[in-house]
């Protein structure tokens, strides 16, 4: 299917923003829609509230991060409706960050630490290892056959994710935690995120929140799976990618200079709350 | 609303506070010497350093300095400095007031403020959200003013709910004179409810502020169910029945209404709905000190400068107004404040520890509201802002400082020399800009 010949708008479904949207994750839906519109391709963002029916005809389903309780609730509702599983089988794209990635795997830890069954859209399992929460910049290189360069973002998660034989990583960790100790593969490579290995168009990552803001090539990869080859952005819309380039340069330089932020700097507020 | 407690009589002067004890006086003397030294050596602004020394060597200093005074403690994520200013102005109608107007809102800043006003019977203290329980334990009977709770720093998870729990426990265990709480924030209502549970249950003044930030409160603090927000001006949890209490005082547009059928216009010098909410909270708190609604409103309406914010300054021949917005709720308020203008604007963010190191929250702020205006992105994380503005369809450019931002605005549209440019920034970004203006 090519963008020029579509007669309906690309439908980007943002799932449960009030359950899975604590870190500006809704930004990913905005970014995907704008990058289509700027190429003359109609796009609409459909925001699905908790308890609402999930549309069956979505082209891209976007899931964000959230706290443990809402994560279990979101998973329960998606499992009950079954729409997402059928949509993936029908070729729809899923992009899931952080808690969203954990719940599309086979299992993840619930609020009490006991494993909860995930949707099983992709072959990965998330566990608690007793290691401290991963908070800070995350930088990966991609060796997964996608020509999208380094991926940069911020991670904030307690779980660690083991990839099964039917999944591959989205990236290889250069700095940060990513999938963590259980995500080190047989070759000793530290992995980040997950891509379905069975041809399904499912991608998960610990680059949380508006991950696509810093990684426009990842956004275009997902969109290409929907509309085929993407025309380049028009001249009047190139400013945003130039600025994303400046943002990437700044973040990559900071990380490579050893500035990973977050947990390194604890304030009196953290101490008062007993945070590690 | 009936005032209660000491100092409740509107026509009698408040009795003076007890004199500061000799040891405390000596400690405060050393503290101010340290502060002077620190200022002279250029090591920070000074006053907090002296206060930190004082509370370190004299553990009961805050408790002693507040004994015999009528104290209000103002806390919440957004608006505490403004509300504290408002309340100080209202209390000023009864005589001298001790207040930490500079926003130094931990115990160190409080003892400095109290020590500087030994004759003030009334005190109103802005208090950091996380320090409130500890300060309550030390201060004892106070009027506790609870504004709101929203996400402040994204690299701290679950902080909002943790603070609500800390508040609730503290109110259930510490004696308070009264609680004044925002009825439109479910987390605040739940936290304030602690005051009704403890020994010697205290009365709560509920204020209808018309908050409209609901993103952080969809989970019911009482049962974990989902809160429904719906007209007219209500919220409730269908699972457990937890719901908005009926109010003693509320905002109806620009008018303040009370349960005793008063309606009072609110002609504030400060812009925006958020400041009307702050004024309503301060007025309700002032009533607990025996100050009538109209007197309080008359006194606080003229406040037009909060520790440098809202102040209109001239930078390289250009008038600018500095607005603080620390988090998505604050940004939404600030963007509403500047909505009426089509002049260029400057937005500025840093991501230092005090700001939170993760600016992902930018995507929860409706920057689309700025479409149609020329905007300059500034601050250390201006590239994050620039990308956000780009996807919001806002015509923009970047600048590394306030004066460079002003230069960019003037190059873009010289005609704006006569209009005021709004500069919205988060915490350390605004501090940097105030520093730039004052230099
Ligand atoms: Zn409930």
Q: Same structural domain for residues B294 and B321?
A: no
Task: Please report the pLDDT score of residue B161 as a whole number.
Answer: 82
Arithmetic mean of pLDDT, A141-166:
90
Instruction: Please report whether residue B368 resides in a domain.
Output: yes
**Contact (CB, 8 A) for A12 and A55:** no
Reduced to 3 states, what is the DSSP secondary structure of residue B243? strand
Q: Same structural domain for residues B195 and B342?
A: no
**What is the four-CA torsion angle of A16, A17, A22, A28, rounded to 10 degrees?**
110
Q: Same structural domain for residues B276 and B163?
A: yes
Distance between CA A221 and CA A229 in Å, rounded?
9
Q: Among all residues of chain A, which has the CA nearest to that of B382?
A: A247
A157 is an active site residue: no
Contacts of B383 in chain A (CB under 8 A): 243, 246-247, 250
Yes or no, beta carbons of B361 and A250 under 8 Å apart: no
Task: Please report the pLDDT score of residue B310 as a whole number.
Answer: 81
Q: What is the pLDDT of residues B228-250, one digit of tens each?
A: 887 665 898 888 989 999 999 99
User: Which CATH architecture fits A3-235?
Assistant: 3-Layer(aba) Sandwich (3.40)
Q: Same structural domain for residues B174 and B231?
A: yes
**Contact (CB, 8 A) for A23 and B358:** yes
Q: Same structural domain for residues B131 and B88?
A: yes
Which pLDDT band holds residue A5 (cuts at 50, 70, 90)?
low
Task: Please report the pLDDT score of residue B214 as a whole number.
Answer: 64
How many domains would you assign to chain B? 2
pTM above 0.90, yes or no: no
Q: Same structural domain for residues B288 and B156?
A: yes
Which pLDDT band holds residue A53 (cuts at 50, 70, 90)?
very high
Task: Please report the pLDDT score of residue B156 as a whole number.
Answer: 54
Task: Please report the pLDDT score of residue A143 as a whole number.
Answer: 67
Query: Does the pLDDT at position A267 exceed 50?
Result: no
Q: Same structural domain for residues B316 and B296?
A: no
Task: Please report the pLDDT score of residue B8 as a whole number.
Answer: 45
Q: Among all residues of chain B, which has the CA nearest to that of A213?
A: B387
Catalytic pick among A75, A98, A124, A157: A98
Task: Please report the pLDDT score of residue B232 as a whole number.
Answer: 60
Which pLDDT band holds residue B259 (cuts at 50, 70, 90)?
very high
Contacts of B326 in chain A (CB under 8 A): none
Q: Which two tokens stand for residue B344?
A: 């260029």
Task: Please report the pLDDT score of residue A263 as a whole number.
Answer: 33
**Mutation to test the B interface, candidates A22, A47, A266, most B Cβ within 10 Å:** A22
* Highest-confidence segment of A193-202, B207-216, B320-329: A193-202
Distance between CA A236 and CA A185 in Å, rounded?
43
Q: Same structural domain for residues B295 and B159?
A: yes
CA distances to A219, A236, B130, B282, B299 from B110, in Å = 50, 53, 15, 19, 23
Contact residues for B414 (Cβ-Cβ < 8 A; gap 6+): none
**Contact (CB, 8 A) for A207 and A173:** no
The beta-carbon contacts of B194-201 under 8 Å, at least 24 apart in sequence, are B194/B167, B194/B168, B194/B169, B194/B170, B195/B144, B195/B171, B197/B172, B198/B171, B198/B172, B198/B173, B198/B174, B200/B175
Contacts of B360 in chain A (CB under 8 A): 23-25, 27, 154, 208-210
DSSP result, B118-183 = TT-SEEEEE--TTTHHHHHHHH-SEEEEE-------TTSTTHHHHHHHHHHHHHHHS--SEEEEET
Query: Does the pLDDT at position B253 exceed 50?
Result: yes
Q: What is the pLDDT of residues B85-127, one digit of tens each?
A: 999 999 999 999 999 988 788 888 899 999 999 999 999 999 9
Task: Please report the pLDDT score of residue B157 as a whole number.
Answer: 47
- Find the B237 Cα to ligand 1 centroid distance in Å: 5
Instruction: Please report whether residue B180 resides in a domain.
Output: yes
Yes or no, beta carbons of B387 and A244 under 8 Å apart: yes
Contacts of B238 in chain A (CB under 8 A): none
Q: Who has greater pLDDT, B227 or A42?
A: A42
Query: Does the pLDDT at position A92 exceed 60?
Result: yes
Task: Please report the pLDDT score of residue A142 as a whole number.
Answer: 78
Task: Please report the pLDDT score of residue A105 as a whole number.
Answer: 97
Quick check: A154 contacting B, CB < 8 Å?
yes
Q: What is the pLDDT of residues A180-189, one digit of tens each?
A: 999 998 889 9
Shortest CB distance from B387 goes to which of A18, A135, A240?
Answer: A240
Task: Please report the pLDDT score of residue B53 as a whole number.
Answer: 84
- Find the B216 Cα to ligand 1 centroid distance in Å: 15
Distance between CA B435 and CA B438 in Å, rounded?
5
Cβ atoms within 10 Å of B16's Cβ, excluding its own: 14
Contacts of A246 in chain B (CB under 8 A): 383, 386
Note down the domain range covering B244. Answer: 68-99+119-300
In sequence order, what are the beta bridge partners of A96?
Answer: A63, A204
Residue B230 phi, psi (nearest 5):
-160, 160
Task: Please report the pLDDT score of residue B416 as a whole number.
Answer: 55
Task: Please report the pLDDT score of residue B348 as a whole number.
Answer: 96
The beta-carbon contacts of B47-51 under 8 Å, at least 24 apart in sequence, are B47/B102, B47/B104, B47/B109, B47/B112, B48/B104, B48/B108, B48/B109, B48/B112, B50/B108, B50/B112, B51/B104, B51/B107, B51/B108, B51/B109, B51/B110, B51/B111, B51/B112
A98 is an active site residue: yes
Catalytic pick among A75, A124, A157, A208: A208
Which pLDDT band holds residue B44 (cuts at 50, 70, 90)?
low
Distance from CA of B62 to the nearest CA of A (A): 19
């Amino acid at each position: 299917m090519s963008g020029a010949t579509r007669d309906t708008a690309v439908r980007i479904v943002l799932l449960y923003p009030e359950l899975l949207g604590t870190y500006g994750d809704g930004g990913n839906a905005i970014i995907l829609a704008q990058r289509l519109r700027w190429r003359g391709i109609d796009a609409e963002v459909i925001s699905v509230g908790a308890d609402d029916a999930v549309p069956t005809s979505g082209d891209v389903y976007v899931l964000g991060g959230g706290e443990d309780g809402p994560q279990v609730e979101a998973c329960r509702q998606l499992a009950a409706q079954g729409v997402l599983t059928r949509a993936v089988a029908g070729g729809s794209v899923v992009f899931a960050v952080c808690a969203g990635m954990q719940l599309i795997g086979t299992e993840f830890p619930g609020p009490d630490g006991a494993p909860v069954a995930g949707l099983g859209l992709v072959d990965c399992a998330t566990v608690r290892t007793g290691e401290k929460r991963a908070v800070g910049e995350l930088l990966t290189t991609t060796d997964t056959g996608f020509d999208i360069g380094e991926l940069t973002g911020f991670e904030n998660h307690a779980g660690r994710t083991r990839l099964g034989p039917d999944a591959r990583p989205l990236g290889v960790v250069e700095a940060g935690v990513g999938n963590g100790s259980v995500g080190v593969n047989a070759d000793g490579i530290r992995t980040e995120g997950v891509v379905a290995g069975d041809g399904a168009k499912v991608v998960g990552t610990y680059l949380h929140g508006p991950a696509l803001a810093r990684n426009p090539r990842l956004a275009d990869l997902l969109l290409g799976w929907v509309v085929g080859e993407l025309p380049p952005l028009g001249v009047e819309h190139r400013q945003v990618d130039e600025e994303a380039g400046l943002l990437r340069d700044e973040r990559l330089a900071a990380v490579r200079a050893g500035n990973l932020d977050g947990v390194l700097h604890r304030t009196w507020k953290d101490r008062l709350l007993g945070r590690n | 609303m009936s005032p209660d407690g000491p100092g409740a009589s509107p026509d009698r002067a408040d009795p003076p506070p007890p004199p500061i004890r000799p040891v405390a006086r000596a400690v405060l003397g050393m503290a101010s010497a340290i502060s002077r030294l620190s200022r002279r050596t250029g090591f920070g602004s000074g006053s907090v350093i002296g206060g930190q020394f004082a509370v370190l060597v004299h553990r009961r200093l805050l408790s002693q300095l507040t004994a015999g005074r009528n104290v209000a403690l103002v806390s919440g994520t957004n608006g505490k400095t403004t509300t504290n200013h408002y309340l100080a102005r209202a209390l000023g109608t009864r005589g001298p007031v001790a207040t930490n107007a500079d926003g130094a809102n931990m115990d160190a800043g409080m003892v400095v403020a109290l020590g500087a006003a030994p004759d003030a019977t009334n005190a109103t203290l802005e208090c950091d959200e996380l320090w409130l329980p500890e300060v309550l334990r030390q201060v004892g009977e106070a009027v506790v003013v609870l504004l709101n709770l929203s996400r402040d720093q994204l690299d701290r998870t679950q902080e909002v709910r943790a603070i609500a729990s800390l508040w609730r426990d503290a109110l259930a265990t510490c004696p308070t004179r009264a609680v004044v709480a925002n009825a439109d924030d479910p987390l605040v209502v739940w936290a304030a409810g602690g005051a009704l549970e403890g020994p010697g249950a205290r009365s709560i003044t509920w204020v209808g502020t018309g908050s409209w930030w609901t993103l952080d409160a969809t989970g019911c603090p009482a049962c974990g169910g989902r809160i429904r927000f719906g007209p007219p001006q209500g919220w409730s949890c269908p699972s457990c029945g937890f719901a908005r209490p009926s109010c003693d005082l509320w905002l109806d547009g620009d008018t303040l209404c009370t349960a005793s059928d008063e309606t009072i216009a609110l002609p504030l010098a400060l812009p925006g709905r958020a400041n009307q909410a702050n004024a309503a909270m301060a007025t309700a708190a002032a009533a607990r000190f025996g100050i009538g609604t109209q007197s309080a409103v008359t006194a606080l309406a003229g406040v037009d400068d909060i520790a440098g914010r809202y102040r209109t300054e001239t930078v390289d021949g250009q008038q600018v107004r500095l607005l603080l917005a620390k988090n998505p709720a604050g940004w939404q308020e600030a963007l509403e404040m500047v909505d009426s203008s089509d002049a260029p604007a400057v937005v500025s963010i840093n991501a230092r520890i005090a700001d939170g190191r993760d600016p992902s929250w930018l995507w929860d702020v409706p920057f689309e509201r700025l479409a149609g205006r020329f905007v300059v992105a500034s601050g250390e994380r201006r590239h994050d802002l620039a990308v956000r503005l780009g996807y919001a369809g806002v015509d923009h450019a970047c600048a590394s400082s306030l004066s460079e931002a002003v230069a960019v605005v003037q190059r873009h549209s010289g005609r704006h020399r006569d209009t005021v440019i709004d500069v919205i920034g988060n915490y350390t970004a605004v501090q940097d800009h105030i520093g730039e203006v004052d230099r």
